[in-house]
């Protein structure tokens, strides 16, 4: 069975194609959203999801979040005694989702389709693939997130001929895709985006406003526990603002109580640069697709951050019409991944849907341009595959060495849209041995092949000798070799993972610990005693006692949280 996985910056989901439809799978807590968060217990046991989110506040030094942003880099995150690569942290999320799917399906799950932002670079895609392998999953295909969202909607509108735009604002990334659907054929016409723009940035903007308006010293930012608590409170207030006119961010530091009431006007003002940045990718995707906004039949929203009324209003204004909101924006990508999984498994119900995709960046090489017979202007970018070409694609261009008697040709590979290579992203280099011959006989055919997974293969053939060198993209510190992946797979097996059937108990305890730190006086003392009581029940290992004990503790936590939420209401 192939599962579809939305590996998100803030939340991840797993879904499957079953009985002719996409179905979301619940985790051990009975929820479909698993926070993309990892934490280590005191004894080094790995906790994934909501329990880890709670511990992010009480034990920031043992917890990690937002690591999707570092995929493709070799940045290490220290949790306790061990350092983790972004691929390993992602693999832990994938492993948890795999276990959830196995519990739901009652059979082993070894294959997955994983979604990635359309704008993910080659290195980021390879890192995602590696994360799958480290989690023990064969990654059948990497699917662009907006394409997945479109697939989820495409099924509903299969009969209609339409063009639509997917506006996907998640926790950490923003993607825009223009798609066309006719006779069951779905084609991505263009995609654009911003890898560093998402819901979390709005939280950052509000945190800055909190410091600024309350005139707090910058040194407070070094207090990790305070910052983790402030982030959680700000996130909650931001979400409340999607439902009501104002909300209060309230955090205690020592004996001081800091509170700021926020409303839409403040959000709009502090995050004005972010709202502005939402326009550019939309304009570019439309331009690349050769469409005007009036040519679009509908606008599809994906990603939790599109719940913000300010974002919805901006979208409505930009396109002069209301966006479609039939599907839950948090779920569309995972549902689409399951549709693709069904497609892959050749489910009869999906046979008529064909999909094509596009290359998100232009890919090419560095060239020199002859200004006259003697001087060359160096450092120019010569695209071989143009941005938004339909993939899979293979293109070849012929290059001639600049100097007579040159013994090798150094191909520098770049991605990007700028005229000069210095403004683009360097992907790697390839040296080609040249024959000792006249310049025109040293011509080299450079072939770029970009596959449906967004992976780039480069081959250079010397015309005279017909010798071909294949490209290894070098100089990319973010990439893992097959050997390293196998090594990490072994290392993963040594990690203790918290048992799935104990997750509910552990999550309640993590939440109690977090609230305990936030409370004071009698409430705190009372909670402490209740936690102790529940820990004793757990030690007794009798499920008939544990289950009602857990429910009672949860209810107490709800009541305490409601109480502090009441404190947060504006007066
Ligand atoms: P995703 O990566 O799609 O899971 O997006 C999660 C992002 O959506 C986070 O930054 C959340 O803060 C944001 N989000 C989820 N629900 C809401 C809401 N009701 N209002 C505002 N932002 C939300």
pLDDT above 80 for 64:
yes
Closest residue by Cα to residue 22 from 334, 287, 311, 241: 334
Report pLDDT for 347. 56
Report pLDDT for 568. 41
Report pLDDT for 565. 44
Instruction: Report the separation in Å between the CA atom of 451 and the middle of ligand 1, taken as the mean of its atom positions.
Output: 31
**Active site residue ranges:** 6, 68, 145, 168
Per-residue pLDDT reduced to its tens digit, 504-524: 999 999 999 998 988 888 889
**If one looks up domain 199-272 in CATH, what number appears?**
3.90.640.10
Report whether 432 contacts 405 (CB < 8 A).
no
**CATH, domain 363-465, list 3.40.50.150, 3.40.50.300, 3.30.1490.100, 2.60.34.10:** 2.60.34.10
Whole-angstrom distance, CA of residue 140 vs CA of residue 16: 14
Whole-angstrom distance, CA of residue 532 vs CA of residue 549: 11
Q: What is the average per-residue pLDDT within 303-329?
A: 93
Report pLDDT for 253. 86
Q: What is the average per-residue pLDDT within 181-206?
A: 84
Whole-angstrom distance, CA of residue 413 vs CA of residue 140: 27
Report pLDDT for 440. 72
Q: Is-cis flag, bond preceding 392, omega within 30?
A: yes
> In sequence order, what are the beta bridge partners of 449?
394, 457
Report pLDDT for 120. 78
Q: Which atom of ligand 1 is nearest to the CA of 333?
A: 3
Report pLDDT for 569. 38
Whole-angstrom distance, CA of residue 119 vs CA of residue 176: 9
Angle at 551 between CA 546 and CA 552, to 5 degrees: 95
Q: What is the average per-residue pLDDT within 401-407?
A: 80
> Do β-strands 363-370 and 11-18 pair in parallel, antiparallel, or remain unpaired?
unpaired
pLDDT above 70 for 567:
no
Of the given ranges (230-234, 390-394, 421-425), which has the lowest mean pLDDT?
390-394
Instruction: Report the separation in Å between the CA atom of 492 and the middle of ligand 1, taken as the mean of its atom positions.
Output: 30
pLDDT above 70 for 21:
yes
**Contacts of residue 435, Cβ cutoff 8 Å, sequence gap at least 6:** 441, 442, 462, 464, 465
Whole-angstrom distance, CA of residue 8 vs CA of residue 169: 11
Question: Percentage of the chain with pLDDT > 70?
Answer: 92
pLDDT above 70 for 198:
yes
**How many beta carbons lie within 10 A of that of residue 161, not counting itself?**
11
Instruction: Report the separation in Å between the CA atom of 265 and the middle of ligand 1, taken as the mean of its atom positions.
Output: 19
Per-residue pLDDT reduced to its tens digit, 369-402: 988 888 889 999 999 998 888 878 899 999 988 8
Q: What is the average per-residue pLDDT within 184-195?
A: 78
The CA-based dihedral angle spanning residues 64, 68, 74, 80, taken in that order and rounded to the nearest 10 degrees: 10
pLDDT band at 158 (very low <50, low <70, confident <90, very high): low
Closest residue by Cα to residue 430 from 451, 403, 455, 457: 457
pLDDT above 60 for 353:
no
pLDDT band at 571 (very low <50, low <70, confident <90, very high): very low
Tokens of 527: 């909670």
DSSP alpha helix (H) spans, 13-61: 50-58
Top mutation candidate among 6, 9, 10, 117 for ligand 1, by most atoms within 8 Å of CB: 10
Q: What is the average per-residue pLDDT within 498-509?
A: 92
**Contacts of residue 346, Cβ cutoff 8 Å, sequence gap at least 6:** none
More confident residue, 202 or 389: 202
Closest residue by Cα to residue 336 from 368, 302, 291: 302
Q: What is the average per-residue pLDDT within 50-71?
A: 93
Whole-angstrom distance, CA of residue 336 vs CA of residue 328: 12
Residue with the smallest CA separation from ligand 1 atom 15 is 304
Whole-angstrom distance, CA of residue 336 vs CA of residue 355: 12
CB crowding 486-513: b at 16 or more within 10 Å, else e: eebbeebeebeebebeebbbbbbbbbbb
Residue identified by tokens 């948090």 is 330
Whole-angstrom distance, CA of residue 416 vs CA of residue 502: 47
Top mutation candidate among 7, 69, 71, 304 for ligand 1, by most atoms within 8 Å of CB: 304
pLDDT above 80 for 42:
yes
Report pLDDT for 18. 92
Whole-angstrom distance, CA of residue 90 vs CA of residue 374: 53
Whole-angstrom distance, CA of residue 200 vs CA of residue 502: 30
More confident residue, 570 or 153: 153
Report pLDDT for 472. 61
> In sequence order, what are the beta bridge partners of 489?
none
Of the given ranges (12-16, 155-159, 449-453, 541-545), which has the lowest mean pLDDT?
155-159
Tokens of 58: 């009480």
Report pLDDT for 51. 95
Whole-angstrom distance, CA of residue 310 vs CA of residue 71: 30
Report whether 526 contacts 560 (CB < 8 A).
no
Whole-angstrom distance, CA of residue 443 vs CA of residue 402: 10
Residue with the smallest CA separation from ligand 1 atom 12 is 199
Q: Which atom of ligand 1 is nearest to the CA of 9?
A: 2
Angle at 459 between CA 456 and CA 464, to 5 degrees: 165
Q: What is the average per-residue pLDDT within 57-70?
A: 92
Instruction: Report the separation in Å between the CA atom of 297 and the middle of ligand 1, taken as the mean of its atom positions.
Output: 26
Report pLDDT for 144. 83
Tokens of 386: 């143009």
- Please name the fold of domain 2-197+273-358: Nucleotidyltransferase; domain 5 (3.30.420)
Instruction: Report the separation in Å between the CA atom of 225 and the middle of ligand 1, taken as the mean of its atom positions.
Output: 22
Q: What is the average per-residue pLDDT within 329-351?
A: 81
Residue with the smallest CA separation from ligand 1 atom 18 is 239
Backbone angle region of 409, left / alpha / beta, with phi > 0 → left and psi within -120 to 50 → alpha: beta
**Using CB atoms within 10 A of its CB, is residue 483 exposed (0-12), middle (13-18) or buried (19+)?**
exposed
Per-residue pLDDT reduced to its tens digit, 295-312: 998 899 999 999 999 999
Phi first, then psi: give them for residue 347, nearest 5 degrees: -65, 135
Angle at 18 between CA 13 and CA 24, to 5 degrees: 20
Residue with the smallest CA separation from ligand 1 atom 22 is 305
Q: Within 6 Å (CB) of ligand 1, which residues are found?
A: 8-11, 170-171, 198-200, 235, 238-239, 242, 303-305, 307-308, 330
**Contacts of residue 394, Cβ cutoff 8 Å, sequence gap at least 6:** 447, 448, 449, 450
Average pLDDT of every residue of the chain:
88
pLDDT band at 73 (very low <50, low <70, confident <90, very high): confident
Report pLDDT for 562. 72
Q: Which atom of ligand 1 is nearest to the CA of 235?
A: 12
User: Which SS3 state, helix, strand or coil, does residue 327 take?
Assistant: coil
Report whether 304 contacts 199 (CB < 8 A).
yes
Count CA within 13 A, CB hemisphere, residue 409: 28
The CA-based dihedral angle spanning residues 146, 152, 153, 156, taken in that order and rounded to the nearest 10 degrees: 170
Instruction: Report the separation in Å between the CA atom of 65 and the middle of ligand 1, taken as the mean of its atom positions.
Output: 14
Residue with the smallest CA separation from ligand 1 atom 23 is 305
pLDDT band at 352 (very low <50, low <70, confident <90, very high): very low
Top mutation candidate among 37, 305, 337 for ligand 1, by most atoms within 8 Å of CB: 305
- In what side-by-side order are the strands of the sheet with 63-65? 46-48, 37-40, 63-65
Per-residue pLDDT reduced to its tens digit, 457-497: 899 999 888 999 887 654 344 578 888 999 999 998 889 98
Instruction: Report the separation in Å between the CA atom of 236 and the middle of ligand 1, taken as the mean of its atom positions.
Output: 10
Q: Which atom of ligand 1 is nearest to the CA of 200?
A: 10
Whole-angstrom distance, CA of residue 438 vs CA of residue 264: 69
> Do β-strands 21-24 and 2-7 pair in parallel, antiparallel, or remain unpaired?
unpaired
For residue 497, the 8-state DSSP code is: B
Tokens of 343: 């497609």
**How many beta carbons lie within 10 A of that of residue 31, not counting itself?**
15
More confident residue, 355 or 96: 96
Report whether 347 contacts 129 (CB < 8 A).
no
């Amino acid at each position: 069975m192939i599962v579809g996985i939305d590996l998100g910056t803030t939340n991840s989901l797993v879904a499957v194609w079953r009985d002719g439809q996409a179905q979301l799978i619940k985790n051990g807590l009975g929820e479909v959203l698993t926070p993309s968060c990892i934490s280590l217990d005191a004894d080094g046991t790995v906790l994934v999801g909501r329990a880890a989110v709670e511990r992010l506040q009480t034990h920031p030094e043992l917890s990690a979040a937002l690591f999707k942003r570092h995929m493709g880099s070799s940045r290490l995150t220290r949790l306790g005694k061990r350092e983790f690569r972004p691929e390993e942290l992602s693999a832990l999320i994938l492993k948890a989702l795999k276990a959830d799917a196995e519990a739901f399906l009652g059979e082993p799950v070894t294959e997955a389709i994983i979604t990635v932002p359309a704008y993910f670079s080659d290195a980021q895609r390879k890192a995602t693939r590696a994360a799958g392998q480290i989690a023990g999953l064969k990654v059948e295909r990497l699917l662009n997130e907006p394409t997945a969202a479109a697939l989820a909607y495409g099924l509903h509108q299969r009969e209609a001929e339409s063009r639509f735009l997917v506006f996907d604002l998640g926790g950490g990334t923003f993607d825009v895709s223009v798609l066309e659907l006719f006779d069951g054929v779905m084609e991505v016409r263009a995609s654009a985006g911003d890898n560093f723009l998402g819901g979390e940035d709005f939280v950052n903007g509000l945190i800055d406003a909190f410091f600024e308006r309350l005139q707090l010293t910058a040194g407070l930012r070094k207090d990790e526990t305070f910052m983790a608590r402030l982030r959680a409170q700000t996130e909650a207030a931001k979400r409340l603002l999607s439902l009501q006119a104002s909300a209060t961010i309230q955090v205690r530091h020592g004996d001081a109580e800091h509170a700021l009431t926020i409303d839409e006007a403040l959000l709009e003002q502090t995050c004005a640069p972010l709202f502005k940045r939402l326009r550019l990718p939309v304009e570019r995707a439309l331009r690349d697709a050769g469409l005007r906004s009036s040519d679009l039949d509908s606008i599809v929203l994906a990603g939790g951050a599109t719940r913000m009324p300010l974002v919805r209003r901006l979208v409505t204004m930009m396109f002069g019409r209301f966006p479609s909101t039939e599907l839950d924006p948090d779920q569309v990508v995972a549902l689409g991944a399951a549709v693709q999984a069904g497609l892959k498994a050749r489910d009869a119900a999906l046979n008529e849907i064909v999909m094509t995709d596009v290359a998100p960046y232009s890919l090419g090489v560095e060239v020199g341009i002859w200004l006259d017979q003697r001087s060359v202007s160096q450092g120019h970018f010569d695209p071989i595959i143009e941005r938004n070409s339909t993939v899979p694609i293979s293109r070849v261009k012929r290059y001639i060495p600049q100097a007579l008697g040159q013994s090798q040709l150094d191909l520098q590979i770049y991605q990007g849209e700028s005229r000069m290579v210095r403004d683009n992203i360097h992907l790697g280099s390839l040296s080609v041995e040249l024959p000792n011959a006249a310049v025109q006989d040293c011509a080299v055919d450079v072939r770029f092949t970009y596959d449906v997974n967004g992976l780039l293969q480069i081959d250079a053939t010397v015309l005279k000798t017909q010798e071909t060198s294949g490209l290894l993209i070098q100089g990319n510190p973010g990439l893992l070799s097959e050997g390293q992946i196998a090594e990490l797979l072994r290392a993963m097996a040594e990690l203790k993972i918290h048992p799935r059937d104990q997750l509910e108990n552990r999550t309640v305890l993590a939440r109690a610990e977090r609230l305990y730190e936030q409370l004071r006086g009698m409430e705190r003392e009372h909670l402490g005693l209740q936690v102790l009581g529940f820990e004793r029940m757990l030690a007794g290992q009798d499920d008939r006692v544990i289950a009602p004990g857990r429910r009672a503790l949860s209810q107490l936590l709800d009541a305490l949280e409601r109480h502090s939420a009441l404190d947060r209401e504006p007066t």
